[in-house]
Amino acid sequence: MEKLQRIRIFTFAKFQAVLMAFVGLLAGILYSFGGLIIDILVSNGWITSSETPGLSYGTLLAFGALIGMPIIFASAGFLAGIVEAILYNLFAKWFGGLKINFEHKE
């Protein structure tokens, strides 16, 4: 067992940004899929809309989420990663860090 005594702040922040960008992409896909379903229902007349029927401004926003949500999530993940790494480094000094078992398979 080895102790993780310190985390490099920007390395961890970049890791968190990439991880959260994938979460944002998944959220954007789900949001877009929901918008597509609503637009199909409006196009078929199964539900009514006060705006123009069919594909509309909502569709543009839904598919814009495929780009916007990963960017927003990645930015938030980067900032959260900075805060988390700083807090971990502060508390690891007081409590000794995490014990991690690195297994080497050959």
Domain of residue 33 covers 2-98
pLDDT reported for residue 58: 66
Is 105 part of a structural domain of the chain?
A: no
Residue whose C-alpha is closest to residue 90's, from 11, 30, 6: 6
Tokens of 70: 């990963």
pLDDT reported for residue 20: 97
Is 103 part of a structural domain of the chain?
A: no
Tokens of 54: 């069919």
Helix, coil or strand: residue 2:
strand
pTM summary value? 0.76
60 φ, ψ to 5°?
-60, -45
Q: Tens place of pLDDT for every residue, the chain, 106 residues? A: 788 889 999 999 999 999 999 999 999 998 888 777 777 777 777 776 665 555 566 677 777 888 999 999 999 999 999 999 999 999 998 888 888 887 877 7
Residue whose C-alpha is closest to residue 31's, from 56, 71, 63, 67: 63
Is 89 part of a structural domain of the chain?
A: yes
CA–CA separation, 22 and 47 (whole Å):
33
The helix or strand, by DSSP H or E, that contains position 23, with its residue range, turns out to be helix 9-43
pLDDT reported for residue 4: 84
Is 76 part of a structural domain of the chain?
A: yes
Identify the residue whose tokens are 């993780």. Answer: 4
Is 80 part of a structural domain of the chain?
A: yes
Domain count, the chain: 1
Between strands 2-4 and 98-100, the pairing is antiparallel
pLDDT reported for residue 32: 83
Tokens of 82: 């900075």
pLDDT reported for residue 100: 85
